[in-house]
Structure 1
Amino acid sequence: MTMKQVDLFPHAPKPDRILVARIFEAAREKNRYILGLEAFDILKAYGIPVVKTAFAKNIEETMIAAEEIGYPLVMKVVSPQISHKSDIGGIKLSLRNASEVKATYQDIMDSIPKKLPDASLKGVQLQPMLSGGKEVILGMVHDPTFGPMLMFGLGGIYIEILKDIRFAIAPVDEREARDMVTGIKTYPLLAGIRGEKPADIDALVDIILRVSNLVCDFPEIEEFEINPMMVFEKGKGALAVDLRLILKSDL
């Protein structure tokens, strides 16, 4: 660690820093600096809740995993060369049965090589189709002057259209983390308007604190983004759905 931090979670399991260090070391040995599926283990190591996820290398494994997860589900392509999956048709939503899963798997494996011939397709990622939550984005960029800069905002169309994002220099304490959430212009959508139940703000604050610790513990992280993070109504928590993590290549 390069920054002295306060133990923000005295009664919680300690982060598994050794596991995260091993994941980063293994990636660098393969000259990989953009992490995908394996990065979920990084989140778990810091106590950040993630959506149930299965990785399948072929159609047989995909069919088995789909039955285990249940329907409806989401299928995402897994490739070291593909970080923005939606841009090339690498994410398929609301698959309702085995026939749709089989057809979608074949479509992904047939269509993506035509768009990205150099991409190595490792398989697919399967997740349950979540409902009832709101999408938020939580990330970090490494500023050359200030170091790790945390960012938070509503996800989906809000992040693209309104550019409603709040930044803070890591590490942050609980007050600063809460200010990041309540300080965005669209916070009323999380607080609950027109009879809607409020989102689980405490869960978001907790996750921001954990991300703050992660990026301070590992300054080799150049960029980090959970997008989307699904936050549910108060008391029901939040789940990381997708993740993009970039390591510095000049260490």
Structure 2
Amino acid sequence: MSTTDQRVAIVTGAARGIGAATAVRLAAEGRAVAVLDLDEAACKETVEKITSAGGKAVAVGCDVSDSAQVESAVARVVDELGPPTVLVNNAGVLRDNLLFKMSDSDWDTVMNVHLRGAFLMSRACQKHMVDAGFGRIVNLSSSSALGNRGQVNYAAAKAGMQGFTKTLAKELGKFGITANSVAPGFIVTDMTAATAERVGMGFEEFQAAAASQIPVQRVGRPEDIANAIAFFSGEHAGFVSGQVLYVAGGPLN
């Protein structure tokens, strides 16, 4: 058992994809993990993976864009696992479209889940981190933060996550809390499958096209991102804060 066996982590958007891989990875390192997603029932598979391997996890349903639900969810985590000192803000949605076709709802939904959600979750958890004198906040950005056709809402939200991260690092550092951001490149998830469908390509073809443009000549897997998150959330990463790490198989320019 590692030295992190008493740490409690919350991973949002953890029912599948990057969030699920991260929850499993953090549990394997000894953390008790709250697997949080909009649909609590959808978290069952992730929780079972953790518990079947001897770890400790609970499923928590929560709309991260809803302040009351966030406060209730964090209170439940405190009651069932203990005060959270690791937070991974991974919850996200896509509402892709070109600017002239994008609706108000498309814009607001993406901003609310990504940015408002990260804000509400961080605000609710930081008090427990301050009390513990230890905290790790990891926010999921994206290579789309650099701009991506058809994703003006998503790109703006993911760029915003980077500024949010750097500000948290400055505000919370004196309390022993670090804040960092991981910005994935092409990762095989339901979200990238949805993007392939939007542009009219089969997913296998879409992956092959992406891999051909990546220096390491492959697309990423959720576990690749979980590895980076595990570093930032670790006990020995206390002098690393306010950083944005692109995990994309090579440089993006």
Q: Do both share a fold (TM > 0.5)?
A: no
Please identify the structure whose Cα radius of gyration is greater. 1
**Structure showing greater relative contact order (alpha-carbon pairs closer than 8 Å, 6 or more residues apart):** 1
Structure-2-length-normalised TM-score: 0.31
Structure number with higher strand proportion: 1
Structure number with higher helix proportion: 2
